[in-house]
Amino acid sequence: MKKETFKFHNGVTIPSIGFGTWQIPNEEAYDSVNMALKNGYTHIDTALAYQNEENVGKAIREFDIAREDVFITSKLPAERKGYQEALDAFNETITNLGVDYLDLYLIHAPWPWNEIGKDCTQGNIDSWKAMEKLYNDGKIRAIGVSNFSVSDLQAILDNCDIVPMANQIPFYIGKDQKDLLEFCEKHDIVVEAYSPLATGQILDSSELKEIADKYGATTAQLAIRYCLDKDTLPLPKSTHEERIIQNRQLDFEISKDDLKTLDKMEDVRK
C-alpha cells in the first residue's frame, strides 16, 4: 500500500488499516487477533462493550511483538457518561487488556445505544475532560470519538481543550458522509471507517463485483480500498484467515472514473 499510516494532529501515527473485532465473541477473539498479527496487522481495534478485551489483550501479549509496535484502540461504553465514569471505564479496559496504556481511546457513541439521539452533551463534555486528563497523564497517546455527528463534535470543540484526533464512523460504498468528512478534514480529525463492508451486506453486489473484476480484486478488497482512497482509515474484521490476509492486499488504486461511479451509488446492500 502507498499509504502505510495516518497521522493525528498531535503527531502520533496510526497504521492505515486496523483489524476490527466488533461482533467477534471473546472465545474467538484470541485466534482472530493472533491470525491478524501473524499476517501483518499492527493495529487492533476493540471496545469494552465488545466483551472481548481479555482475549484481544492476551493474543497481543503472547504474540512475538513489542508493545510499542502494536497500536491498540478501545472505547468508553456509550451509556457511561461523566468524568469519574470515564476514568473507571478506562481502568477496566487496561486491566482487561493487560496493558499500561492505550494508543487510542474513543467515546463509543454520543448517546446510549438504547436511546439513540438522546441529548448527552454535558455527559460527553465531562467524559472528554476525563480523557484529556488521561491523555495529559500519558495513559493514552491519542483520544477521539465514535459515531459523532457535526453537532456532537462542535459541542466538544466549544467546551474542551483538545480537538478530537479521530472520529470512527460507519463508512462504506453507498453510505454518504460527505458533510461529516468535510468537517473532520477542516479540523484535522482522522476519520476511521468501521464496517467498510457494511457488515458483509455489500459483498454480493453485482455492480461492485464488475468494478472489482477490473482490478483483479475481490468485492471486499474494492470496498476497503475505496475507504483508503476517500482518505478514511478502514477497520475490516473477519475470523477467517484467508479473508484476513486478503483484506490487506490492496496494491491497486481505484481510477478517478470508477471512484466517481462508486461515490454516486446510494445503497448497494443486499
- Strand (E) positions, 12-76? 13-15, 19-20, 43-45, 71-76
Report how far apart, in Å, the C-alpha atoms of 82 and of each of 87, 108, 128, 138 are. Answer: 9, 13, 8, 20
Q: Which of 155, 144, 62, 59 is nearest to 103 (CA)?
A: 144
Based on the residue annotation, tell me whether 50 is a catalytic residue of this protein. Answer: yes
* Residue type present at position 117: G
Query: Which set of grid coordinates corresponds to residue 46?
Result: 476493540
Distance CA 81, CA 126 (A): 7
Strands 71-76 and 5-7 turn out to be unpaired
Query: Whole-angstrom Cα distance, residue 75 to residue 108?
Result: 5
CA dist 209 and 188 (Å) reads: 33
Can you give the C-alpha Rg of the chain in angstroms?
A: 18
C-alpha 210: how far from its chain's center?
A: 28
Tell me the C-alpha distance between 174 and 74, whole Å.
27
Catalytic residue among 50, 135, 172, 226: 50
User: Is-contact 167 145, C-beta < 8 A?
Assistant: yes
**Where in the sequence numbering do the catalytic residues fall?**
50
